[in-house]
Amino acid sequence: MRYIVTGGAGFIGSHLVDALLARGDEVVCVDNFNDYYAPARKRRNVALALEQPGYTVAQVDFRDGEALERVFATHRPQRVAHLGGMANARFSVDHAPLYVQSNVAGTVNLLELARRYDVECFLLASTSSVYGSSPTPWSETLPADRPLSPYAASKRAAEVHAFTYHHLYGMPTTIVRFFTVYGPRGRPDMTPYLFVDKMVRNEPFTLFNAGENLYRDYTYVDDIIAGVTAALDAAFPFEIINLGNERPVLMQRFVELLEQITNTRARIKSVPTPSTEPPITFADTSKAQRLLGYHPQTNIEQGLEFFWRWYQDEVLNRT
């Protein structure tokens, strides 16, 4: 099977690429290697894959429909996993147009080419952020029409466009909503990396509301990939599916765990929780269990250990 994986040089996308190549699929990674965080890190993310047969990197910006069409015309993918885009709710507040261009217009470019090239399965990576501050646990039946940030709004808009393409052209489409993904290759702007980076340098870092009454449903990246590959294989006509861990972690506890694992002390500067942040994220994953046989295997204690090992090898020992 030949896949296009957008964002294939990023954190989650590069893990998906490795999983697809490992089972013998061909993969074209579409990524613009933007400098939202170090492009050198993205180059390292693709290094393993570049040693495998059946892997191609197309350094293309999917906001550019013509360049994207050349990739489709050359490689004729059977399936598309669209994981590329701009993430980070807080950063999006001051960069709303960029989020619309990347996450909405870029997604429509991909949907348009996917239907013209008869792609048999389109998967869109979305986010728990679409649930805003709805009462938890969050199930896929919630309206998700009160996003708290331009990022969340852009992802919801992309989801809605994906439905329209399915409706008009019958394109099999699955939307997967990820809940706070962490693990090796984790993004430098996300809490495990941000906090550990400060802790090993004995530098202070900000924690919303001192971590009190703040919970995140951290989901280990391998569990996310198991859900994504199962969704790609199933090629449903149209589904929206949560991929979370269903075990929200209190942020105070999260920091304590990092202190234990890294054998350091956190120097916390408490700041008020920004309005982009809900107090809790909490996935109802019953639909993923039923449709995909999804059962997360990695608890937060193990997952943070795996992250810490990667951080030591890839960050500490390289700087």
Ligand X SMILES: NC(=O)c1ccc[n+]([C@@H]2O[C@H](COP(=O)([O-])OP(=O)(O)OC[C@H]3O[C@@H](n4cnc5c(N)ncnc54)[C@H](O)[C@@H]3O)[C@@H](O)[C@H]2O)c1
My answer on whether omega of the bond before 137 falls inside 30° of 0, hence cis, is: yes
Q: Which of these segments, 2-10, 71-79, 279-287, 299-307, binds ligand X (CB under 6 A)? A: 2-10
Provide, rounded to whole angstroms, the least separation between the CB of residue 234 and ligand X.
Answer: 19
Is residue 125 near ligand X by the rule CB under 6 A?
A: yes
CA atoms within 13 A on the CB side of 294: 30
Count of residues in the chain: 319
Residue pair 268/205 in contact by the 8 Å Cβ criterion: yes
Pairwise CA distance, residues 24 & 126, whole Å: 26
Provide, rounded to whole angstroms, the least separation between the CB of residue 31 and ligand X.
Answer: 4
Of 90 and 263, which has the nearer Cβ to ligand X? 90
Tell me which of 151, 215, 218, 220 is the catalytic residue: 151
Residue 151 a catalytic site member: yes
Is residue 193 near ligand X by the rule CB under 6 A?
A: no
Pairwise CA distance, residues 13 & 9, whole Å: 6
Provide, rounded to whole angstroms, the least separation between the CB of residue 30 and ligand X.
Answer: 6
Of 119 and 123, which has the nearer Cβ to ligand X? 123
Listed residue (52, 39, 35, 36) closest to 9, CA to CA: 39
Q: Which of these segments, 174-182, 205-213, 282-290, 311-319, binds ligand X (CB under 6 A)? A: 174-182
Element (H, E) at 269: strand 267-271
Angle between helices 191-200 and 300-314 (to 10 degrees): 60
Of 180 and 207, which has the nearer Cβ to ligand X? 180
Q: Of 93-122, which residues contact ligand X (CB under 6 A)?
A: 102, 106
What does the block give as tokens for 92? 């999006």
Pairwise CA distance, residues 173 & 237, whole Å: 6
Provide, rounded to whole angstroms, the least separation between the CB of residue 12 and ligand X.
Answer: 4
Pairwise CA distance, residues 134 & 257, whole Å: 28
Q: Of 20-59, which residues contact ligand X (CB under 6 A)?
A: 30-34, 42
Q: Of 25, 55, 85, 184, which lies in the binding site for ligand X, with binding defined by CB under 6 A?
A: 85
Of 102 and 207, which has the nearer Cβ to ligand X? 102
Catalytic positions: 151
User: What residues make contact with ligand X under the rule CB under 6 A?
Assistant: 6-7, 9-13, 30-34, 42, 61-63, 83-87, 102, 106, 125, 127, 178, 180-181, 187
